[in-house]
Homo-oligomer: A and B are copies of this chain.
Amino acid sequence: MEIKILKNIMHANQRLAQENRQLFDERKITAVNVMASPGAGKTSTILKVIEALRDEINIGVIEGDIASSIDAEKIDRLGIPVVQINTGGGCHLDANMIGTVMPDLNLKDHAILFVENVGNLVCPSTFDLGETIRMVIASVPEGHDKPFKYTSMFEAADVIILNKVDLMPYIDFDKDSFYKGIRAVNEKAPVFEVSCRTGEGLDEFIGWMRSIVK
């Protein structure tokens, strides 16, 4: 009985994700589902892309958080279309939430839409939002062993960012091990090493972002 319920929920989510995907296709929106641990740098990464590309590409943001509108306010201050979803305890965004808020987001066609998921390296990986790209952000202080422990997240990624590389000198981070962990579950996703704080590595990443626009 429990299994049956779970199947129904997943089925509904997949149907709604498909509707989102169709909407994104029709409107030439590249939807990027940004997933990471709390504090890995999801908002910082989005802000850096906005800063670099806002004059050439339409950008909008859907912010997911359990509580607060701290991140949405940061985006709003830049004059970028943003909607905040508060899940009220929920550990991930789902396709229904995205479909529901899309009409409220004043986003033009031919755009990048960032969907910042709830800070959680587990649950968001199993909920399709209809996104075009699944972006996973890891950060140096979290340690190099994360791909070995949170396999489904790294397996699902279309692109992986390693943020906070400026902290490398102060942390025992084994980069070879980190890459081994990724490649054990994901052969293809490009990995960009960046620091949103110092700007290191961002040019290459921004170039890649430019390349994925529909």
Please give the residue numbers on chain A whose beta carbons come within 8 Å of chain B beta carbons, in ascending order.
Answer: 1-2, 5, 9, 37-40, 65-68, 70, 89, 91, 118-123, 126, 139, 141-143, 145-146, 148-152, 164, 166-167, 170-172, 197
Top 6 A-B pairs, shortest CB-CB distance: A39-B142, A141-B141, A91-B122, A39-B143, A37-B38, A68-B148
Name the B residues within 8 Å of A123 (CB-CB).
Answer: 91, 120, 122-123
Residues of B within 8 A of A5 (CB): 1-2, 5
> B148 to A38, Cβ gap below 8 A?
no
How far apart sit A197 and B139, CA to CA, in the bound complex (Å)?
17
Contact status B1-A149, CB under 8 Å: no
Residues of B within 8 A of A172 (CB): 197
Task: Tell me if A122 and B167 are in contact (CB < 8 A).
Answer: no
Closest to A146 in B: B38
Complex CA gap A70/B67 in Å reads 32
Q: A5-B2, A38-B142, A141-B164 are in contact. Are A149 and B119 (CB under 8 A)?
A: yes
Contact of A67 among B40, B119, B149 (CB under 8 A): B149
Q: When chains A and B are docked, how far (Å) is the Cα of A33 from the Cα of B197? A: 33
> How far does the alpha carbon of A152 sit from the alpha carbon of B68 in the complex, in Å?
12
Which residues of chain B have C-beta atoms less than 8 A from A146's C-beta?
38-39
Among B40, B119, B149, B167, contact of A150 (Cβ-Cβ < 8 Å): B119
How far is A11 from B103 in the complex, measured between Cα atoms in Å? 39
CB atoms of A121 and B122 under 8 A apart: no
A65 to B151, CA, bound (A): 11
**Is B152 a contact partner of A89 (Cβ separation < 8 A)?**
yes
Measured between alpha carbons, how far is A9 from B6 in the docked complex, in Å? 13
Chain B residue numbers with a CB within 8 Å of A118 are 122
Most chain B Cβ neighbours within 10 Å, of A39, A122, A146: A39
